[in-house]
Structure 1
Amino acid sequence: MTETLFLLDAYRKTAPGVVTGLTDEGGIILDTSLFYARGGGQPGDSGMLDWAGGRIPVATAVKGEGGQIILLPAEPAALPPVGASVEQRIDWDRRFGHMRSHTALHLLSVVIPLPVTGGAVGADKGRLDFNMPDAPEDKLVLQGRLNALIERRLDVREDWISEAELEANPGLVKTMSVQPPKGAGKIRLIRIGQGDGQVDLQPCGGTHVVNTGEIGKVTIGKIENKGRQNRRVTLVLDG
């Protein structure tokens, strides 16, 4: 099982690691991973691996069996041998964009309090699909509410609960298409705002900023009809 460094500190840009395995497809498995593995609508991280006598760009990271994270090279190249010590370096600008976008999407689910049927996180924009039969009357009103939440500079923190506690509180799960991963005995929650100022609490395994002020201003883009009762709402990050 790969240790998930990105959950311990989403702001960490470099970290050492040791190669524990190579896949038949040319993937690299480390004992620890700074690279977020694709899941929950958030892309896997990209970046670079360096070791004595070699370097390889990493295109993305995916989940493997038994809690492993597999790094996929961006191009065919010599791989580090099993047992080699490597230095991991993520594409920080891309990661930080994902963090801003992902946290903004959590807030979007606050200003549109409807079941979420899908979503995708990007480095400069993101989108959520809602079970929404009718389109919102005024997109600018939604945009204003969303930016007002961002400007409150709310703290973003993680908590953990047991799977039994989640089953007793099914309302925590907003996404209809993606269920929180189970089997480890505990579920990670992302809490936005603290105490009486809390605005959101939901299961999530992604990376987030620690304060909503880091998101910056956002613009609500297209609101598209994606089926009889589904509307896709896109937000765009400024800068």
Structure 2
Amino acid sequence: MTEILCYDDSYLREFDATVIDTAPKGVMLDRTAFYPGGGGQPADSGTLTAGEVPYTVKRLSRQDGKLVHEIDGDLPPVGASMHGELDWDRRYLLMRTHTALHILCGVVWRDYGAQVTGGNMQPGSARMDFEFENMSADFAERMETLVNEEVQAARGIEIKTLPREEAFSIPDLIRTKINLLPPAITEIRTVNITGLDLQADGGTHVANTSEVGAISVVGHESKGRINKRLRIRIDA
């Protein structure tokens, strides 16, 4: 089992680890700071180094339930020490982008009570779908004003891991239309934008909304009778 360090510290840029197994396309480590991907957030990229040999991490995947760092070249043996380094500029931009989505989600839930029906992100851009019957250009402009007010409010962000029963005693913890958390998960990670938004989430985030920077609402679309999409962008 790989310990995923970024769940506890999103700002960790480098780490040391040991190869515990190999796969046809990569290595499995005892610990990693690479975010494995999920919840709409892409996996991290970066490098692993064994001795003097650098490897580019092409992608992260799950094979037989194990997290694989996929790399090219001759694989280091089991027991080898590796040093990992994230592509930090990309990761930090994803952290800012993910937090921007939570700000948007928090504002929409607070003011309209609309659930999320989908979402996705790339570094610096993202989209989120909501259960709305109607959405106008005026609404999108209003959202841009409101989300940037929350950025400027410099709200602190707290990450916790709670037992499932305790987590689900929190009202409205799940903001998606469908609860995507499997029953087998016994601990729930929560992201709390103080005073605005508290929900279950497994991704990486900044520590304060002020780090997000200006958010632009760059588009709105109808994706169905009660499914409307907002697109956002933040400056790199």
Fold-level similarity (TM above 0.5): yes
Aligned to 2:33: 34
Aligned to 1:158: 159
| Partner Cα separation in structure 1 for residue 153 and residue 63 of structure 2 | 39
| Partner Cα separation in structure 2 for residue 164 and residue 176 of structure 1 | 20
Gaps of at least 5 residues in structure 1 are none
| Partner Cα separation in structure 2 for residue 9 and residue 166 of structure 1 | 20
Contact map agreement 2:137 2:220 (CA 8 A) in 1: no
- Distance change >3 Å, CA 178–CA 167, structure 1 → 2: closer
Deviations 1:118-166 (A, max 9, x none): 1112211111111111114512211000000011111001123221234
Aligned to 1:69: 67
Identity %: 35
Secondary structure (helix, strand or coil) at the match of 1:216 reads: coil
Aligned to 2:119: 119
| Partner Cα separation in structure 2 for residue 69 and residue 143 of structure 1 | 38
Q: How many residue pairs are counted as aligned between the two chains?
A: 231
Aligned to 1:208: 205
CA RMSD of aligned residues (A): 1.7
Contact map agreement 1:103 1:215 (CA 8 A) in 2: yes
- Distance change >3 Å, CA 118–CA 31, structure 1 → 2: same
Secondary structure (helix, strand or coil) at the match of 1:144 reads: helix
Moved more, 170-179 or 222-231: 170-179
| Partner Cα separation in structure 2 for residue 126 and residue 78 of structure 1 | 37
Aligned to 1:52: 51
Contact map agreement 1:180 1:204 (CA 8 A) in 2: no
Contact map agreement 2:107 2:196 (CA 8 A) in 1: no
Question: Is it true that 1:105 corresponds to 2:101 in the alignment?
Answer: yes
| Partner Cα separation in structure 1 for residue 29 and residue 85 of structure 2 | 13
Equivalent residue letter for 1:216: G
Secondary structure (helix, strand or coil) at the match of 1:171 reads: coil
Contact map agreement 2:144 2:217 (CA 8 A) in 1: yes
Aligned to 1:191: 192
Aligned to 2:226: 229
Contact map agreement 1:46 1:91 (CA 8 A) in 2: yes
Q: TM-score, normalised by structure 1?
A: 0.91
Contact map agreement 1:221 1:235 (CA 8 A) in 2: yes
Question: Is it true that 1:218 corresponds to 2:219 in the alignment?
Answer: no
Contact map agreement 2:151 2:210 (CA 8 A) in 1: yes
Aligned to 2:10: 10
Gaps of at least 5 residues in structure 2 are none
Contact map agreement 1:180 1:203 (CA 8 A) in 2: no
Contact map agreement 1:160 1:189 (CA 8 A) in 2: yes
| Partner Cα separation in structure 2 for residue 43 and residue 121 of structure 1 | 7
Contact map agreement 1:94 1:123 (CA 8 A) in 2: yes
Secondary structure (helix, strand or coil) at the match of 1:172 reads: coil
Aligned to 2:128: 128
| Partner Cα separation in structure 2 for residue 40 and residue 176 of structure 1 | 14
